[in-house]
Amino acid sequence: MEIIAYGVLTDEEPLLREAFDEAFAGAHELRCLGLFLDRDTALTAQGHEIVLSSVNDTLDAEVLRTLAEGGTRMIAQRSTGHNNVDLTAARDLGLTVARVSYYSPYSVAEFAWTLALAVNRRVVRAVHRTREFDFRLDGLMGRDLRGRTAGVVGTGKIGAAFARIAHGFGMRLLGWDVAENPDCLALGMEYVSRERLFAEADLVSLHVPLLPDTHHLVDKEALALMKDDAILVNSSRGGLVDTDALLETLRAGRLSGVGLDVYEEEAGVFFLDKSLEVMTDERLARLMTFSKVLVTSHQAYFTREAVGQIARTTAANVADHLAGRSGENTLVGPEPA
C-alpha cells in the first residue's frame, strides 16, 4: 500500500521514512509531498487509504468529503493540535482520525524561552547592527529576569517545562489552568485568576490548546491588564491572541517585547517562501514593523527529538488503524476494544 503524506518538510522527511521503515519493514511505501492538503490539492490523494496530514493542512468538510470519495479511510495528523480538522464531518463520513497526543515538551518550552530572551535582550536588533559593523549599545538594554514574575497560561507538560526553566532563573511563578499541576506547585507556583496573572506577570507565556473557550484568550481586555513593560510569548496556537488588539497595544507603545512562533492567519504563509511576493496579509506585515516584535514560523516543535517522536507515533497510529485498533491518539474511529 502507498501512504501519502502532505506538508512534509525537508528535514522531517528522513525521520518520517525511518519511522515507517522500522514500523512496517518496507511493507508499505511512503509518498512524501511538500504541498499542503486543501480544496485545491485533495484530489491528489485519490486511491490512498491513509493520508498523513500536517498542522497547516485544511481538512474542512469539503476536503474530507473529497478524500472519502477518493477512497481515504484514515487521517493521521502529525501534530498534537487538530483544530484544522472538522471532526464532526470526519465522523459522519466514517473516517478515522488520529493525532500525536504527546511529544517532547522541552522542544516547545525551550523555544518559548528562546523568544523571551531574544526580545528581552534585543538580540535580533543587535545582530542586525553588528552585521553592519555598528557596535553601539543604544536601545539594546534588557532586564534581569531573576526576581521577576513569570505567568504561565496552561500548565500541562509544556507549561510545566517552561515553569521549571523560569524557576531556574529565580523567577516568581504564577499559573492559570483548569487544573493545578502538582509538579508546578512543587516549584512554588501560585495558581491565580487569569486577570491577576496578566496584571502581575512581567512575562506571560501561552501553553494552552486552541479551543472555542481559548480563542482570543489574549484579547483587548487581557492586554490592557498587562504591564506596559511586560513580555508576551505565544508558542502554542495563533488564535489564542487577538492580532488586532495586539497591534493596537503595540501602536500605543506598550509591552517591552512580543515573541510569536504562531499567528492566527498563518495557514498559506508559514512553512512557505514568500520572499519574492507581496505580503498581502496587512496585519502580519504590521507586526513585522515593530522592532520589539519577533516572529518565527511555527518552529518551536522542530527538534530532532520531537519530530522523530511525532514520526514514530504517526507510524504507530497507522499500525493501529490497519489492525482495526483504537487508542489514546484516536480522535474519531472505532471504539477501543
* CATH number of the domain that residue 146 is part of: 3.40.50.720
**Do both 8 and 50 map to the same domain?**
yes
Strands (E), 22-123: 29-32, 50-53, 74-77, 96-98
Of the chain, the end-to-end C-alpha distance in Å amounts to 25
For the chain, the domain total comes to 2
Annotation says 128 is catalytic: no
Annotation says 298 is catalytic: yes
Is 337 within a domain? Answer: no
Residue 166's SS3 state is helix
User: What pLDDT is attached to residue 323?
Assistant: 94
**Do both 254 and 234 map to the same domain?**
yes
**Do both 43 and 72 map to the same domain?**
yes
Report residue 268's pLDDT band, with 50, 70 and 90 as the boundaries: confident
**Do both 253 and 181 map to the same domain?**
yes
- Per residue in 199-249, pLDDT (tens digit) is 999 999 999 999 999 999 999 999 999 999 999 999 999 999 999 999 999
Report residue 49's pLDDT band, with 50, 70 and 90 as the boundaries: very high
Mean pLDDT of 26-51: 96
* CB 257 within 8 Å of CB 231: yes
**Do both 27 and 39 map to the same domain?**
yes
Mean pLDDT of 187-192: 98
- Per residue in 245-264, pLDDT (tens digit) is 999 999 999 999 999 999 99
Is 175 within a domain? Answer: yes
Is 200 within a domain? Answer: yes
**For residues 157 and 208, what is the distance between their CA atoms, to the nearest angstrom?**
10
Catalytic residue (choose from 49, 266, 312, 321): 266
Report residue 289's pLDDT band, with 50, 70 and 90 as the boundaries: very high
- Mean pLDDT score of the chain: 96
Which domain does 77 fall in, by range? Answer: 2-103+304-332
**Do both 170 and 262 map to the same domain?**
yes
Strands (E), 2-100: 2-5, 29-32, 50-53, 74-77, 96-98
**Do both 210 and 251 map to the same domain?**
yes
Is 181 within a domain? Answer: yes
Annotation says 237 is catalytic: yes
C-alpha distances in angstroms, 273 versus 30, 38, 40, 333?
25, 18, 19, 36
**Do both 43 and 109 map to the same domain?**
no
- Per residue in 102-134, pLDDT (tens digit) is 899 999 999 999 999 999 999 999 999 999 999
**Do both 214 and 246 map to the same domain?**
yes
| pLDDT exceeds cutoff 90 at 165 | yes
User: What pLDDT is attached to residue 56?
Assistant: 86
Is 190 within a domain? Answer: yes
**Do both 162 and 42 map to the same domain?**
no
**For residues 280 and 294, what is the distance between their CA atoms, to the nearest angstrom?**
19
Is 177 within a domain? Answer: yes
Catalytic residue (choose from 122, 237, 312, 321): 237
**Do both 51 and 119 map to the same domain?**
no
**Do both 187 and 81 map to the same domain?**
no
Report residue 337's pLDDT band, with 50, 70 and 90 as the boundaries: very low
